[in-house]
Amino acid sequence: MSNNNYTVVIPAFNAEKYIAECLQSVLSQTTPPQQIIVVDDGSVDATAQIARNSSSIVKVISTPNRGAGAATTTGVDAVQTDIVAFVDSDDVWLPKKMEIQLASLNDSALVCDAVTTKMRRLVICTLKRSTKNILVGRAQLWRFGCMPTIEWVKFEIWGMVMAK
């Protein structure tokens, strides 16, 4: 698998204030993606135009407003690479995020989902070659290049990379 054999899916709704910075952080990765898919979920601002003008590897799919979940699914359906990564339109990635996550995926096949409960903030990780789950605290995620850019939200899933 090529190091950059991944696509980034960005669901976006009225994100003109943030989408350029988000896209720039994805485009500035030390291991850049083959494609970025921005699903414009019925925006009434310049989100789609800003995304289209950002790079030739950005594909914009415009849909009626159906919510972030449906927009993400639409984006995943258009992915043609082996790996897909997700970022919210108001998030910014550190430059080595995907380099570190892809290395982790290739080396240990670690897949993580973030879950916040009233008592604890946890990330549930599964090794691809194992059925065992590993609970990882927020501070340990820095090692894998995962970090929230805003406060954790209940049931939020962020920084996820998965094999398609």
pLDDT along the chain (164 residues), means of 10: 78 97 96 97 98 98 95 90 88 89 64 48 46 46 48 40 50
* pLDDT for the residue 44: 98
* pLDDT for the residue 107: 58
User: E strands along the chain, which residues?
Assistant: 6-12, 35-41, 58-63, 83-86, 110-116, 121-127, 133-136, 161-163
d(CA 92, CA 147): 10
**What Å distances lie between residue 139 and 75, 130, 158, CA to CA?**
30, 23, 15
* pLDDT for the residue 81: 86
Domains of the chain listed by start with CATH number: 6-163 (3.90.550.10)
What SS3 class is residue 4?
Answer: coil
* pLDDT for the residue 83: 83
Task: Count the helices and strands in the chain (H runs, E runs).
Answer: 4, 8
d(CA 15, CA 23): 11
Q: Considering just the CA atoms, what is the radius of gyration of the chain in Å?
A: 15
